[in-house]
Amino acid sequence: MRAVAYKTPQPISAETSLVDVELPMPEAKGHDLLVEIRAISVNPVDVKVRAHSAPPADELKVLGWDAAGIVKAIGAEVTLFEPGDEVFYSGIISRPGSNAEFHLVDERIVGTKPKSLDFAAAAALPLTSITAYEALFDRLKVQDAVSGAARSILIIGGAGGVGSIAIQIARALTDLIVIATASRPETQDWVKELGAHHVVDHSKPIAPQVAALGIGAPGFIFSTTNTDSHIGDIVEAIAPQGRFALIDDPKTLDIVPFKRKAVSVHWELMFTRPLYGTPDMIEQHKLLNKVSELVDAGKVRTTLSEIVGPINAANLKKAHAMVESGKMKGKAVLAGF
């Protein structure tokens, strides 16, 4: 089968940073589905792994943690899907990725593809949807109010992949006032279209802008990017006893200033459940199905912003470079081989 892989971590501009390869066809066993890939999208995790993670000597590493496709075969223990089902999912970081014609994935982290979306539009959603959903409901527990705080959430990096879906899920499933950050006119318009009640500019001090809205200190803050640059504003803006979640990888993160406000700090990593095979791993299957229902009901839209082309090394390089630029609005998708 055709796939895109690499042997050595390199800058994306390098000729062999990603290459087209032929690999053996995988076989579905246990809880695995064998999925014929129709579309994939690129996330920051793809870029980070490609740039820093070396596979064992002389081995190829296939990236890709977002996919939409059709189930072609199932393992003996599969109960949730059948061959022919259309699915979407984000896989697991410890297994070969979805940048291939066929891919193995555990059924318990797979959802039924929204019927109203084509494969490209669906492929933009899984990783960011799981991340946003888990951050909101499993980490921040936004369903539980913070005493004395404004019933609001500040989402830093609202125009990115995770921010774009977090805004929509918060609007669809909660009564929160959603404040999103964006710094350019086109990204500010984007987050407004997605449902943000208020938009503030993260290229300027955030806390004074939030205070100027006059709605009170938010009980929840969700930072998707550049957390270390905004930590002072986060400490200042959040309500006492508030809850703060982040997903990026600051080189340093001093949380001591949160102590005075008794703020709880939560890290979200959507790979944790499948990596450790937690007893509640199937919650990712359930939440993806919930997102699929919200899409088909018209309450959540795809965050696809650009289809780069068919799945090959040249187009994946373009998509990686787009993500590395830090100026992405929504998600870049590749469709077909």
- Rounded Cα distance between 301 and 238, Å, is 29
Statement: residue 328 has pLDDT above 80: no
| Structural tokens at position 176 | 């929160």
Statement: residue 9 has pLDDT above 90: yes
Statement: residue 157 has pLDDT above 90: yes
pLDDT classification of 265: cutoffs 50, 70, 90: very high
Per-residue pLDDT, averaged over 236-253, amounts to: 96
Question: What pLDDT is recorded for position 57?
Answer: 85
Mean pLDDT score of the chain = 96
Which strands make up the sheet holding 19-22, listed edge to edge?
Answer: 19-22, 2-6, 61-62
Question: What pLDDT is recorded for position 322?
Answer: 94
Domains of the chain by range and CATH?
2-130+271-335 (3.90.180.10), 140-267 (3.40.50.720)
* pLDDT tens-digit readout, 111-125: 999 999 999 999 999
Q: What totals of helices (H) and strands (E) does the chain contain, helices first?
A: 10, 16
Statement: residue 329 has pLDDT above 90: no
pLDDT classification of 267: cutoffs 50, 70, 90: very high
pLDDT classification of 58: cutoffs 50, 70, 90: confident
Question: What pLDDT is recorded for position 330?
Answer: 83
Question: What pLDDT is recorded for position 230?
Answer: 97
Per-residue pLDDT, averaged over 29-49, amounts to: 96
CB 324 within 8 A of CB 16: no
Q: Which burial class, exposed, middle or buried, applies to 238 when counting CB atoms under 10 A from its CB (0-12, 13-18, 19+)?
A: buried
pLDDT classification of 327: cutoffs 50, 70, 90: confident
